[in-house]
Structure 1
Amino acid sequence: MSQPVNHPAGIYLAEQRPDAGESVLFLHGGSAAGWSWTEQAEALPDHHALIPDLPGFGASARHPWTDLATTADELADLVRERAHDGKTHVVGLSLGGVVGVALAARHPDVIRSVFVTGAILRGVRGFGRWAGLAQIRLFGSPGYWRTMARAYRIPPDTVDLFVTTGLGIDRDSVRRMVPEIYAGVPARELDGLRRLTAPILAIVGEQESRTFRDALDEVTSRAPHAAARLAPGMHHIWDVEDPELFHSTLLHWLTTGNPSPALLPA
């Protein structure tokens, strides 16, 4: 059962099994909130789960997103306060993947390992950038979020929650966050990965575009203990597309520190 915590920084946090083993910080994508990680966290009974709503999302909607660096710094404070021994494994998807990499680059001392997928570290350009920015004006439409739920294959029993979360996203935060993420993480920030002694695994769905695959090099060229893999047959939100594959891959990483043999070379 999750236990809500009101962190002084203003980020809402849900915790599972605070008396269990090593901590795992779950960072959600840009169309959801922490609730999207509930089942994956529950499937790790031996781990202490930290599940925040990122600034501007979910129960943190009133705590605005300012910039990526500030978000990473706030999460580092949260880890030092709540994680066992002040260190955590990081699991991030999409926006959460970008935030997870930024956290590891800025605060390598709080990291046990990093598992990120679909992190667009080089940003988005061309038509994809234009389309993504244009969609912000639709965030107030329930129909838009129901269309997105179908596109992401959101399970029927969580569609209403997905729509409610989308409608509740702080629009001003999104207007700051999306252009920043689409511009890519600056090289000077990513260079912090050179100080990371913990292992990091960067994954892209096999069916994702070249934009995502190209970003893998931003990790593997910097972090001393980095690996890159493809999730076979998967698209962007593959924790929903194939939750069993995602869980087995994540569990293998947490227990061995090595990429699952179910993944493909990148």
Structure 2
Amino acid sequence: MELRGEPADIVALDRAAVLESVRLVGEARPGDWRRPTPCDRWTLRELVAHMAAQHHAFATAARGEGAGARAERGERAGATAERGERAGATAERGERAGATAERGERAGAAARRPPDPWDDPAGAYRSAAGTVLDAFARPGTTDRPFVLPEISARTVPGHRAIGFHFIDYVVHAWDVAATLGLRVLLPEPVLRAALPIALAVPGGEARRAPDSAFRPALPPDPGRRSAPSAGEPTGSDGSGTLSLILTCLGRHPGWTPPDTR
């Protein structure tokens, strides 16, 4: 997948898309989280949870903490646990002290447990977005290989990985906007940068898989044979660059939520 422009530009482009998605998610009200979305079988709450999880996964990869690093941390944690077992055997002789320690452990685990993102989906999403933006902004990130098992069995160059993230959040921003009946407010230069990436996403049967990020491309508007001129509108009304991005990735630009009454 080729990106136009300097690799560093992709960080700024991605930031624009992510911040727009944060703005749109922030518009959701308590009664909106059960709304259906353009993503098959996902409610808005489930879509936003997925978006947040992807931010954390990409942030982990950007920091160089891929599968190997996780395995190494797991080994260290296992060694620590083994030492803890030996210490536990000693502590078991003091039954009363052990019971007190156990209650302390449960209290400590409860204190360390992260807040449930379902309690505040917009807040959890905003936090996740900040995490990935901070990770991408670190010097050298575009040159660092990313470990992204969901995308490739091999490492992915940083600028290309961020390009994947960028196009994903241009589309997810629209998913949220369409669900809420809002308009995506991404500048035309951002959308024009996203279009060649969208066109380069591989097609084929893989897009029909249930867990595919994108569906098979839809037929283009028969009246359009090229990218729109700079003066054309963009949005969810079926015209402009955003519409071309959506159709080539299997989204219907005119999608509206079904009547759930």
Question: Which band: TM-score by shorter chain?
Answer: under 0.3
> What is the TM-score when the length of structure 1 is the normalising length?
0.24
Q: Which structure has the higher relative contact order (CA within 8 Å, separation 6+)? A: 2
Rg (Cα) greater in structure: 2
Which structure has the highest strand share of the two? 1
> What is the TM-score when the length of structure 2 is the normalising length?
0.25
Which structure has the highest helix share of the two? 2
